[in-house]
Amino acid sequence: MPIPALIVPLMDEKALRLLWDDDQISTYPFPYLRGWCPCAGCQGHDGERQFIKVENPQLATIKPVGNYALNLGWSDGHDTGIYSFEYLRTLSDQVAEFNATTTER
Ligand SMILES: [Zn+2]
């Protein structure tokens, strides 16, 4: 499993950039990352992933969890999301789709 070699918050662009140790570069807009928060409070227990829409979220804290995940805290005080590297790679694969739908509006 690739791991992020470098974690770069881009506060002006409101996005988080990860440089992975297999040379992939992922850039996640904050609303996208916040929206897919994996915690039980956001996702419930019915198994289907839900997107939580938050207006203009800002990334407040980034904490490594072991060597498998990042704990991201947000400006709305929400900090229970543990984003596993595997999950972040999945989100990375889908971010282009998200960007396409948000720029259309
Ligand atoms: Zn959450």
Tens digit of each residue's pLDDT (9 = 90 or more) over 37-71: 999 999 988 778 889 999 999 999 999 999 999 99
**What average pLDDT score do residues 92-98 get?**
88
Start-end of H helices in the chain: 30-35, 40-43, 85-104
State the distance from the centre of ligand 1 to the C-alpha of 50, rounded, in angstroms. 10
State the distance from the centre of ligand 1 to the C-alpha of 52, rounded, in angstroms. 8
Question: Can you name the residues that pair with 71 across neighbouring β-strands?
Answer: 63, 82
| Least confident piece of the model among 26-30, 42-46, 92-96 | 42-46
pLDDT value of residue 101: 78
pLDDT value of residue 19: 98
Q: CA distances (Å), 63 to each of 10, 35, 53, 54, 72, in order?
A: 16, 18, 23, 21, 7
pLDDT value of residue 47: 75
Supply the DSSP symbol for 51. -
**What average pLDDT score do residues 12-19 get?**
97
- pLDDT at 105 > cutoff 50: no
pLDDT value of residue 61: 98
State the distance from the centre of ligand 1 to the C-alpha of 98, rounded, in angstroms. 19
Write out the CATH class of domain 4-104.
alpha beta
* 69, 85 contact by CB (below 8 A): yes
Could you give the CA distance from residue 41 to residue 78 in angstroms, rounded to a whole number?
10
- pLDDT at 75 > cutoff 80: yes
Would you tell me how many other CB atoms lie within 10 Å of the CB of residue 4? Answer: 19
* 42, 48 contact by CB (below 8 A): no
| pTM assigned to the model | 0.90
Would you tell me how many other CB atoms lie within 10 Å of the CB of residue 31? Answer: 19
State the distance from the centre of ligand 1 to the C-alpha of 66, rounded, in angstroms. 19
